[in-house]
Structure 1
Amino acid sequence: MKQSKDKEITINDAIIELKQLDDPVFGSLSYKKPANKNTTITVKADSRIIKTPLKQIELAVFKLDAKTYGFIFKSLFRYDNDCKYWDNELKRLASHDLKPNF
């Protein structure tokens, strides 16, 4: 996750499940801080760019650093330090190790 001067957050290499899509997508998401459930999120996945409110994200999973996974769930940011579990589970789903964002 990187933060620029205009307070835009970009999360690379994420698994994102949106309410309007049937299947999760793999890509990046970005938004401006501070965020609330109506903040517009830009999702870049494959050759698509999807702009949607934060409340449309059912779940986003990404690797914050070498030891921590981050989640966006119910419009809130959460994290978990059980990196070994998430590395194993998400490697099966994504077919690669998620890259850290810090």
Structure 2
Amino acid sequence: MALPHLVRLGRDGYFFPSGDVRAVDTRLMELLDDPAARRPGGQAARRRTGEAGREIVVDHDSDRTLAAFEALYLRGAGHPAAMTALPLPPTSAMESEHDEYAARSGRR
């Protein structure tokens, strides 16, 4: 289970029940057999999905993610330098992101 809170369902990814190979196979075949790709000037769903995925990845590069986690841990430890190191969203935003993750993953 990767990061479900990053998936915009149907735009840049899909969810599948754990171990449901048939569901993955069905979705892959739909993407591969997309009739839009066969029309002149048509853009395949797989291309649109890939482009949408690349858009969201820009905000989640490893350096930025590691810096955010480091700032969180330092703040949690009360380290003075962490208070200005990286602006973090307010707790309510973090909680709402967690709630969205929990809802999408079925982990309430």
> Do they fold alike, i.e. is TM over 0.5?
no
More helix by share: 2
Higher normalized contact order (CA 8 Å, seq sep 6+, divided by chain length)? 2
TM-score, normalising length from structure 1?
0.27
More strand by share: 1
TM-score, normalising length from structure 2?
0.27
